[in-house]
Amino acid sequence: MAAIAAARKSRLHNALEGLALIATLQSFPTFATAAFLLKLVGNHDLVGDPGVAIFVAIASLAHAMLAVTLGPSFPAPFKTVYEPKFFEAHLSLSDKITAWRTQPVASLQLVTIVLLLSVMAVVTASVG
């Protein structure tokens, strides 16, 4: 079934899928963490401002687009942001995520993000 779906997947669909995966799984946690750190250190401009969510969304998309544009040409500087497996047309969406998740570097990134966000959540809850 996955082979049939992959055969019908257009080049544009595959590119958009890869861009969305990079924006969601790699860029978004970076900018969400940055916004959370700003809030944690006492930047009161972020309190109740919907612009923070808009900034995180736009910055994540721009970061992902930059990674998709420059990542294949310059793999060394973009090795932690650009993931070639996200652009393999023969893989389904879930297969792309599974292939990425099983890599040691991706696993380390996910664990780091979870631990950092957990620590920041505890500090934020205890500070007030």
Give the model confidence (pLDDT) of 77-102 as tens digits: 888 888 889 999 999 999 999 998 88
Task: Give the pLDDT confidence score for residue 58 in this predicted structure.
Answer: 92
Band of residue 16 on the pLDDT scale cut at 50, 70, 90: very high
Higher-confidence position of 3 and 76: 76
Model confidence at 73: pLDDT above 60: yes
E-assigned strand segments in the chain:
none
- Domain total for the chain? 1
Q: Could you list the residue range(s) of the whole structural domain that residue 72 is in?
A: 2-127
Q: How far is CA 18 from CA 36, 47, 70, 126, in A?
A: 26, 33, 14, 38
**3-state helix, strand and coil shares in percent for the chain, rounded to the nearest 5:** 75, 0, 25
Task: Give the pLDDT confidence score for residue 3 in this predicted structure.
Answer: 53
Q: Is the pTM of this model over 0.75?
A: yes
